[in-house]
Amino acid sequence: MIEVERLWKVFGPRAERVPGSPLAALPRAELRDRLGCLVAVRDVSFQVAANEVFVVMGLSGSGKSTLVRCLTRLIEPTAGEVRIDGEAVRAMSAKRLRELRRHRVAMVFQHFGLLPHRQVLDNVAYGLEIQGAGRAQRHARAAEVLELVGLTGHERQLPEQLSGGMQQRVGLARALATDPEVLLFDEPFSALDPLIRRDMQAEVRRLHAEVGKTMVFITHDLAEALTLGDRIAVLRDGELVQVGTPEELVGAPADDYVADFVRDVPRADVLTLRWITRDAAEGEELEDTPLPQDTVIRDAVARVLRADRPVPVVDGDVRVGVVDAEQLLPALLGHRRQVPA
Amino acid sequence: MTVTTAGRETGAAEDGAGHPGRWGAAGLRSGRTRIAVLVVVSVVALLSFRTTAAADSSDAAAFRFFDGVRDWVDANRDVNPLFLYGVNYIRLGVRLLVDAVSAGLTGLGFAGLVAVAGALALVVAGWRAGLLAVTGFVAFAVLGLWAESVETLALTLSAVLIAVVLGVPLGVLAARVRWVGAALRPVLDVMQILPTFAYLAPMTLLFLIGSPAAVIATLIYAVPVTIRITELGIAGVAPTAVEAATAQGATRLQLLTGVRLPMARPTLVLAVNQTVMMALSMAVVTALIDAPGLGQNIIRALERVNVGAAFDAGLAIVIMAVVLDRVTTAASRRRPHSWRVAVPVLGAAAVVAALPIGDAVPRFSFAAPVNALTGWVELHWYDVTEWLKNTVSAILLNPLETTLTTTPWWLFTVLVLVAGLLMADWRSALIAAASAAGVNGLGLWQHAMQTLATVLVATVLTMLIGVWAGVLCARHDRLAVLTRPLLDAAQTMPSFVYLLPAVALFGASRFTAIVAAVIFAVPPVVRLVERGVRDVPATVVEAALSAGSTPRQLLWKVQLPMARGGLLLAANQGIVMVLAMVVVGGLVGAGALGYDVVAGFSQREDFGRGLAAGFAIVLLGVLLDRLTQGFHRSTKGSRQ
Amino acid sequence: MKLRIIPMTAVLGLVLSGCGGATSDAGSAPSGESKGTVNLAINPWVGYEANAAVIEYLLEKELGYTVETKNLKEEIAWQGFETGEVDAIVENWGHPDLKKTYIEDKKVAVDAGPTGNTGVIGWYVPQWMVEQYPDITDGANLNKYADLFKTSESGAQGQLLDGDPSFVTNDAALVENLKLNYKVVYSGSEAALIKAAQQATAQKKPLLFYFYEPQWLFAKEKYARVKLPAYTEGCDADPKKVACDYPDYVLDKVVSKKFADTGGAAYEFVKNFTWTNDDQNLVSDYLTNQGMSAEQAAEKWASEHEATWKSWIPAGS
């Protein structure tokens, strides 16, 4: 669906000389001091499958917002390629690019980017309006998506009359109005209160369940990434450190940076049994009913602790190992590094 | 005149906000050393190179050159294609516009114009503004100045119309196309420090006298503000909204019309507001080149030293300024009524316009009481005012003037260069020094130095009063609330009007120009200082207070040092305004360059010198602006 | 409104037919024709205003014209002939250079005869000074008394107070060429001159000032003229080298060529206008000291001097 290949974005004078030259190997700080260039995205490659929610996570300054903007060339990449549905984005003419933005990819912004002089309805209909859709048609469609995001009744209000959460719902509706294949989210909820943020995350999950769509979601909030992401990419200083499922990230961080990141995550909530099984000892007596290996640890706690004997863990019909209280307790309490068996 | 050079001020204020004032002990020490060195070197140089201050020649090469230009223009005005197909058509077009606007306004008749003005104000700015407009317009008739007011309004509106038509697109371009912005910036800088007086003579040379020349002069005065504020507004549009629209596939044109312009609307209306205020004050001054309207009354009052008559006209101008200001300000804050309200209201106004209602309103004039008061003051304060005038002249003005006029031009230029290098950056220093040399090249060295002396004295007085009042206003909320409307009114008044009370009190002298300049320049200085002090972050003030600072320590050790950006900006603005006013003071005996300009457009044989004096004033303005603004900039740079 | 529309249509016509380019008088209101609007320049001294007040009053009341007055300095008023802004200047002080430019070279103005007033320009001191320093009226002694005239404006030199910068004056050249230890200070207006003169008399303060006749002030207080080297024909030919006193001026009227050609009765009337210095001083006095408006002053004078102005009215109107 979306393929990103060796993508670079360097800001500063004569940025194009950096990628592909010996300079590319230099660390960020040295490049800045020597050339006055800032490397925002460094040699990044990944693929996003259709209907997947792909989260890009990193601290501020890690280049994640630049990366997502490079996907539709809101920021022009310095080197590398982006393909959407197999079509090379960097080769697109201005017209073709506009078509892409109008029909196939929509974006939700951190600071909403609503037009303050337009009513909610007209904000949502803006994308259709610039495509040349008729007034009745675009208003009908806008009303439809407003209902989808739960804003029916607020059509005639101005953005400033709405709360932050509601404004972002307008942003969401605006992105949905043109029925794009891809939705890009640039830290959409980081400006919102925690409670509202949780609501909105649920909203995104619900929408994803209802309308499908491929989503690329930028965030600096690990909990958000874990909640939403099918897969998560961790970005540091413009470089991809690790791409994987939430489980993989928590269970097998690629380096200390990621490990540090995920240290406070309650692993029992994220990891499944397969991360903590041990082989059964010779002739050990086991419980009769096995547990599937993709059971989240916390869900297995009651069973395992109540059992008199270790519980077998299976992948389908094949037994992959057993768990007992000894295995459970570290996952529930400690921060010990876990390695799959 | 609410914000005379709004663009610059806002820009600099943003800069200031971006870098809260901080100056290390090192900066302070080196600053003091620099100034001490400069002072010592200057004194030694001045003592060793004094000249005899020989009067300017009355026949400098520059004067002859400009006389030649004048003669050529005179001879070719109806022959040369440049005039036949260019300049004269511009003049004709502007005249058509003015005639059309003025025909429209007078055609409505008294009742009609009052009704239409009220209705328009109501639709764009709400019922309060509507009421104000009606009251204001009726007041013109009550003062017996209806016809003159309408003429002034017509001139102002014509100039504003052209300014908006030219200025808004230019402002948009300047904000969107980098090289346009870069190319316009220095041009606008110079235009904004041009004293109104300086370019009246070139106007009459190209466009002769009358309304067209007046409108074009007004346009030149007002359009920089239109461009600057439009640029600010467009550049200030939230980038997220632009990005969001781009991400949705908007074209450049769609971005401009659907996002940038609508989002900049409040700022654009503010641009119109400022343009109107600038245009109004200039439209009054153009009475000097035969523009009709209230300016004529002021000039006549000046000629007769009739403060009372000028008071009525001045009051009419202030009323017009207040009405236009409030209506446009309110319009920038709210959205206009929809057509459902607009149509009936305008319809009602049209009906009133059609009704045969005369302008039979009761008349009232302030002339008699004001003249009585002035007479009393002249009689009873004579000794005080004479003493004040003579003391300031003897202690401040004359020594300074002697020092400046006895300084050889090259030494002055070198000193300016050194001062520029020490206090500002090399570029400002070079420009300032080149300006100084240019003044000498124009053959008006003595007069320029006399003007400079007057300007410097007036600036010192302005800053003393302005900073004192600004600090007071910043520290006493109630005082600030009380003075705000006063400052508003003072800033909407055209420079001209301030000459009158000064003349009445102090007769014709340089001191009169100083007094008028101080009155003219103090309000914006008070504003900037007050804002600078108030902008000091509350946390810093809190921290200083909790450390046990007395109010005085708080002021001297925290608030004033941190408001330094505002103070320097105030000095820059103050000096530019003072220069403009001192030059106008040529009308009332301040002599020097201002007199040369006045004589230039009133005496044929002095034309060349008048034009040269106009350029000299511009150069002097550039010099003062670069030195003060350069200082402002360089201190900012060193803080980063 | 109607008044404005007609010039506008005329202008439009001009624009449409104007393939030959626009000349400098394009678009100006055609003057003095059927509707009868006369554009009268008003120069900034009260004697001029007196002339203009009476002419305006009689043109409007007796001949039925509309008069538009325009406050203009002398030089600028002359420019108005070229642009069509001005139809008549009704008190002109000499100005041979302007006459050459606008009457002879450009042919946009014509002489409309004398006003009957004789103009005198000179340097004056208040009478009390003559009594105290009898030889002060001789210009040769001025340097001796320079200290008396020192002010804050003139510094170490004596002050010679001048009026409006636009007035006809050689004073700066005179001070230089006669080697006088004086500095010319411009008060900016006739009113400021008069105020200074009155103060000098009332408070016995020394004052040397530029002044002129006809002027109502001479009817109220005495001032003595300081004698400069006598005027001889042509001694003021080069304004930068003048070293002689001012000549006596035969004050006259100048009108635009267009007004002379199409002004009809109004032009005839302006041409016929002539009166004495006393007449002018009387009206000036009404204007300045009796607080009358131009119209009131003219009305009062006209009602008292019908015989004088009857002869100005052209036959048949």
- Range with the largest mean pLDDT of A88-92, B538-542, C232-236: A88-92
Give the single-character DSSP code of A90: T
Structure tokens at A147: 């209902």
- Residue B528: pLDDT band (50, 70, 90) is confident
Residue B472, in any domain of the structure? yes
Cβ-Cβ contacts under 8 Å, C165 against chain B:
586, 595, 598-599, 602-603
Helix %, strand %, coil % for chain B, to 5?
A: 85, 0, 15
Of A275, A236, A270, the closest CA to residue A256 belongs to A236
Count of CB atoms situated within 10 Å of the CB of A181: 18
Contact C24 B586 (CB under 8 A): no
- pLDDT confidence tier of residue C31, bands split at 50, 70 and 90: very low
How high is the pLDDT of residue B358? 67
Task: For helices B445-475 and B426-441, give the axis angle rounded to 10 degrees.
Answer: 140
Cβ contact, residue pair B591, C186, below 8 Å: yes
Region of B124 please: left (phi>0), alpha (psi -120 to 50) or beta: alpha
Please give the Cα distance from B612 to B149 (Å, whole number): 34
Asked if residues B218 and B156 have their Cβ atoms less than 8 Å apart, the reply is: yes
Strand bridging mode C208-213 / A239-244: unpaired
End position of a domain, from candidates A262, A281, A304: A262
- Poorest-pLDDT segment among B91-100, B527-536, B548-557, B619-628: B548-557
Q: What pLDDT, on the 0 to 100 scale, is given for residue B640?
A: 28
Q: Inter-axis angle of helices A120-131 and A135-148, to 10 degrees?
A: 130
List the structure tokens of B105. 């306004």
Higher pLDDT, C236 or B31: C236
CA–CA separation, B131 and A329 (whole Å): 79
Q: Is residue C28 part of a domain?
A: no
Quick check: is C40 in a domain?
yes
Say what the pLDDT of residue C10 is: 45
Q: Are residues C228 and C133 in the same domain?
A: yes
Task: Decide if B256 touches A, using CB distance below 8 A.
Answer: no
Mean pLDDT of A68-83: 91
List pLDDT tens digits, range C164-223: 877 878 888 888 888 899 988 888 778 888 888 888 888 888 999 999 888 888 888 889
Instruction: Tell whether B60 is covered by a domain.
Output: no
Q: In the predicted model, what is the mean pLDDT of residues C7-19?
A: 44
The string over B458-495, giving b where at least 16 C-beta atoms fall within 10 Å of a residue's C-beta and e elsewhere, is bbbbbbebbbebbbbbbbeeeebeebeeebbebbbbbb
pLDDT of residue B155: 92
Residues 6+ apart with CB under 8 A from A234: A57, A58, A240, A241, A242, A243, A249, A254, A257, A258, A261
Name which of B330-344, B456-470, B527-541 the model is least confident about: B330-344
- The sign of the CA dihedral A113, A115, A121, A125 is negative
Q: How many CB atoms lie within 10 A of CB C158?
A: 22
Could you report the per-residue pLDDT of B71-92, keeping only the tens digit for each?
A: 777 777 777 777 777 777 888 8
Is the domain of C94 the same as that of C46?
Answer: yes
Residue-level pLDDT at A232: 93
What is the mean pLDDT of the segment spanning C111-117? Answer: 89
For residue B595, the domain's CATH number is: 1.10.3720.10
Q: Is B258 among the domain residues?
A: no
- Residues B505-520: tens digit of each pLDDT: 787 788 888 998 998 8
Q: What pLDDT is stored for residue C32 in this prediction?
A: 39
For the ranges A142-146, A282-286, C259-263, C294-298, the lowest mean pLDDT is seen at A282-286
pLDDT classification of B556: cutoffs 50, 70, 90: confident
| Average pLDDT estimate for A50-66 | 90
Of A74, A106, A116, the CB nearest to B243: A74
C234 domain residue, yes or no: yes
Q: Count how many domains chain C has.
A: 2
Considering Cα of C140, then C144, then C150, then C156, what sign does the dihedral take? Answer: positive
pLDDT tens-digit profile of C224-234? 999 888 888 88
Query: From the CA of A66, how many Å to the nearest CA of chain B?
Result: 13
**In a shared domain, residues A203 and A324:** no
User: Which of A262, A288, A319 is where one domain is finished?
Assistant: A262
Is B587 within 8 Å of C187 (Cβ atoms)? no
Range of the domain at C214: 119-248
Task: Give SS3 for C183.
Answer: strand
**Is B482 within the bounds of a domain?**
yes
Is the pLDDT reported for residue B590 higher than 80?
no
Share above pLDDT 90 across residues of chain B, in percent, rounded to a whole number: 10
- In this prediction, residue C28 carries a pLDDT of 54
Q: Which helix (H) or strand (E) holds A84?
A: strand A79-84
What pLDDT score does C1 carry? 39
On the question of pLDDT at A338 being above 70, the answer is no
Task: Inform me whether the C-beta atom of residue B371 falls under 8 Å from chain C C-beta atoms.
Answer: no
Domain coverage including residue B570: 6-10+25-49+381-639
Same domain, C128 and C237: yes
Total Cβ atoms within 10 A of residue C242 = 22
pLDDT at residue number C20: 54
Yes or no, beta carbons of B249 and A100 under 8 Å apart = yes
Q: Which pLDDT band, with edges at 50, 70 and 90, does A139 fall under?
A: very high
Domain for residue B172, yes or no? no
CA B259, CA B240: separation in Å to the nearest integer? 11
pLDDT band at C17 (very low <50, low <70, confident <90, very high): very low
- Give me the residues of B, 2-21, that contact C with CB < 8 A: none
Which pLDDT band holds residue B19 (cuts at 50, 70, 90)?
Answer: very low
What pLDDT does B359 receive? 65
Q: Which residue intervals of chain A are DSSP H helices?
A: 28-35, 64-71, 94-99, 120-131, 135-148, 164-177, 194-211, 222-228, 246-251, 256-262, 267-270, 297-306, 325-333
Instruction: Report the alpha-carbon distance of residue B581 to residue B603 in Å, rounded.
Output: 22
Q: What is the mean pLDDT of residues A190-215?
A: 87
Q: What is the pLDDT of residue B164?
A: 94
Residues C227, C187, single domain; the answer is yes
For residue B85, being part of any structural domain is answered with no
Q: Please determine, for residue C248, whether its predicted confidence score (pLDDT) is greater than 60.
A: yes
Query: Which residue did the predictor score with more confidence, A135 or C8?
Result: A135
The CA distance from A191 to the nearest CA of chain B, in Å, is: 14
CATH of the domain at A132: 3.40.50.300
Segment A151-164, tens digit of pLDDT: 889 999 988 899 88
In 3D space, the residue among A154, A148, A260, A248 whose CA is nearest the CA of residue A206 turns out to be A148
Identity of the highest mean pLDDT range in B439-448, B491-500, B583-592: B439-448
pLDDT band at A44 (very low <50, low <70, confident <90, very high): very high
Evaluate if residue B524 carries a pLDDT over 90.
Answer: no
Tell me what pLDDT residue A269 has: 79
Confidence class of residue B423 from pLDDT cuts 50, 70 and 90?
confident
Higher pLDDT, A103 or A15: A103
Interatomic CA distance for residues B273 and C24, integer angstroms:
34
CATH number of the CATH domain containing C89: 3.40.190.10
Quote ipTM for the complex: 0.78
Question: What is the per-residue pLDDT across B176-186, written as a single tens digit (0 to 9) for each?
Answer: 888 998 898 88
First-last CA distance in chain B: 33
- A195 and A293 housed in the same domain: no
Query: Which residues face A296 on adjacent strands?
Result: A272
pLDDT bracket for residue B638 (50, 70, 90): very low
Q: Are residues A75 and A54 in the same domain?
A: yes
**Which residue's entry shows tokens 């020989």?**
B54
Q: And the tokens for B488? A: 């508003």
Residues B324-346, mean pLDDT to the nearest whole number: 77
Lowest mean pLDDT among A291-295, C30-34, C293-297: C30-34
Instruction: Let me know: does C125 contact C134? Beta carbons within 8 Å.
Output: no
**Nearest CA-CA distance, residue A116 and chain B, Å:** 7
pLDDT at res. B378? 75
Q: Is residue A98 part of a domain?
A: yes
pLDDT at B284 (0 to 100): 84
Quick check: helix, strand or coil at residue A1? coil
A2 domain residue, yes or no: no
Residue that finishes a domain, picked among C227, C248, C269 = C248
pLDDT of B422 above 70? yes
> How many separate domains does chain B show?
1
Name chain B contacts of A126, Cβ cutoff 8 Å. 245, 248, 258
Q: Is the pLDDT of residue B1 over 80?
A: no
Q: Which domain holds residue A276?
A: 267-333
> Are both A227 and A282 inside the same structural domain?
no
* Cα first-last separation, chain A: 33
Chains A and B touch (3+ CB pairs under 8 A): yes
Q: What is the pLDDT of residue B12?
A: 39
**Residues A252, A108 share a domain:** yes
Residue bearing the bigger pLDDT, B107 or A48? A48
Indicate whether B639 pLDDT > 60.
Answer: no
Choose the mutation target among B95, B197, B303, B447 for the interface with C, i.e. most C CBs under 10 Å. Answer: B303
Q: Which of the residue ranges A205-214, B299-308, C308-317 has the most confident prediction, judged by mean pLDDT?
A: A205-214
Backbone φ and ψ of A309, nearest 5°? -120, 165
| A276 and A257 co-located in one domain | no
Is residue A272, in this structure, part of any structural domain at all? yes
Asked whether residue B584 carries a pLDDT value surpassing 70, the answer given is: yes
Out of B44-53, B552-561, C8-17, give the one with best mean pLDDT: B552-561
Q: How far is C191 from chain B (nearest CA, A)?
A: 5
* Residues C149 and C291 reside in one and the same domain: no
Whether residue B401 lies inside any domain: the answer is: yes
Arithmetic mean of pLDDT over chain B? 80
Cα(B473)–Cα(B479) distance, integer angstroms = 6
- DSSP letter, residue B56: P
Average pLDDT along chain C? 82
To probe the interface with B, which of C39, C79, C241 has the most B CB atoms within 10 Å? C79
Please identify, among C216, C248, C280, the residue that sits at the C-terminal boundary of a domain: C248
State which residue of chain B sits closest to A123, comparing Cα positions: B245
Q: Is residue B287 situated within a structural domain? A: no
Comparing A320 with C2, the larger pLDDT belongs to A320
Residue of B nearest to C26 (CA): B92
**pLDDT at residue A189 greater than cutoff 50:** yes
* A233 confidence band (pLDDT: 50, 70, 90): very high
Residues of A in contact with B250 (CB under 8 A): 130
Q: Are A302 and A311 in contact (CB under 8 A)?
A: no
Q: At A217, is the pLDDT very low, low, confident or very high (cuts 50, 70, 90)?
A: very high
